[in-house]
Amino acid sequence: MAELYELTITEARRRLDAGDITSVQLTEAVLERIAAVDSQVRAYLAISDDLAMRQARAADARRRAGNATGPLDGIPLAIKDVINVQGLTTTCGSKIIENFVPPYDSTAVARLKDAGAVLLGKTNCDEFAMGSSTERSAFFVTHNPWDLERVPGGSSGGSAAAVAAGAALGALGTDTGGSIRQPASLCGVTGLKPTYGRVSRYGLVAFGSSLDQIGPFAWTAQDCALILGAIAGADPHDSTAAPQPVPDYVAGLNGDVRGLRVGVPKEYFVEGLEAGVEAAVRDALELLRANGAEIVDVSLPHTKYALPVYYIIAPAEASANLARYDGVRYGVKQAGDSYWDELERTRGSGFGAEVRRRIMLGTYALSAGYYDAYYKRAQQVRTLIRRDFEQAFAQVDILAAPTSPTVAFKIGEKTDDPLAMYLEDVCTLPINLAGMPGLVVPCGFSAGLPVGLQLIGRPFDEGTLLRAGDAYQRLTDWHTRRPALTAST
């Protein structure tokens, strides 16, 4: 029988409801697992064990009284450290706000609390979510549980690694250009980027306001459906949170892909795609075909422009969003001879190299004389990219593609080559530019490391994605594999 920390959320919920285990036992098992392995993985920036145990005891009390609040009641989850949890430090992986304690919960966290979830702590991430490897955290590097010498992906690498290591049953991350899907692929777990506007961004520290979305990590599509159902929906605190009805995602998981039209965009099988990655994705497509799905070749011709477009729009939005970190109202402050001297010293020492690079890129793109040439044209091409998706979805129900062109790479391998690092997101960032949802499910291994299949859906049609991902997982056991990670001695 699996260890308690190895349970899926669905399995844990079943055992909690049956009275086989308590939330206290489950939470203690996960906290013990964190203590045993996190010195190697380094998924967590902070562990809220006192809070977690209080919430676990409260969940058990509700269950005894017959008042359990839902499928997440008593389930231990982790939160990426760009999402506010009242009373817990939010650092965004940056020195500039390393002591900031938010006085309020983000909407996503508030909804998890309402659902009875147990919050284990805050997970490591690339600074202000800018990165593809979690090497850009100002505090330390997170390691991939499948190979501790390799990256977990980024920027939500801490959340993905925590789930993969058994240090959380599920987690929240954020996805601006692939920051849920790429680490899910590299860590061999399931990750969902919802449609832009499906989940409120209130209480999320902004990177790219037109791109950011909060979403779940877990072992299975069914578990991601449970978390999404809890956090999705309109929010008066966020005007971009769409007033779309939130379906019962779990009820739609029927295990059937017969008649499902799956588009395969030729542009996503890019130069530089590792042979083992392509083979695993092609095998997954053939399995879907063998079980009744229709595989259709499609084209997204403007995909080749997505990388340059993203690296104009995202840094421009980051430049505007990060202007608030000046050392005056909160965060660290460096003394200087004048306001401008203090500002320069504070931002120069508080922000890491990658964040400074993106701020400068964005400021340049927005500056007088360059706005029309860069930012405005990028937004026009963004519209063309979205139209490509709309035309494709006139022919198919979902799209399927690789998630990352490579498996997890060695720590330090790409830190001196920003372009090589940016290319890690070449298969994921078009989906953010278009505002579409994307789901990644484990689909195999290459050179002993996980590979993820990326499924892309119509706006607000996460249900079809989750149905396809769940059906694939009923046919395979990739999502049941666990890394051979032993406790520290």
User: Any idea which residues carry the catalytic annotation?
Assistant: 80, 155, 179
Structure tokens, 403: 């998630």
Q: What does each C-alpha distance from 150 to 142, 190, 338, 382 come to in angstroms?
A: 9, 19, 44, 33
Alpha-helical (H) ranges within 295-428 are 306-321, 339-350, 353-366, 377-392, 418-422
Contacts of 390 (CB under 8 A, 6+ apart): none
Q: What does each C-alpha distance from 201 to 168, 388, 457 come to in angstroms?
A: 23, 26, 21
420: exposed, middle or buried (C-beta count within 10 Å: 0-12, 13-18, 19+)?
middle
Q: Please, are residues 20 and 468 in contact by the beta-carbon 8 Å criterion?
A: no
Q: Cα–Cα distance between 215 and 206 in angstroms, integer?
A: 15
Q: Please, are residues 230 and 112 in contact by the beta-carbon 8 Å criterion?
A: yes
**Within 10 A of 211 (CB to CB), how many other CB atoms are there?**
23
Amino acid, single-letter form, for residue 77:
L
Q: Please, are residues 54 and 147 in contact by the beta-carbon 8 Å criterion?
A: no
Nearest CA-CA partner of 33 in 168, 180, 194: 168
Structure tokens, 230: 């809890």
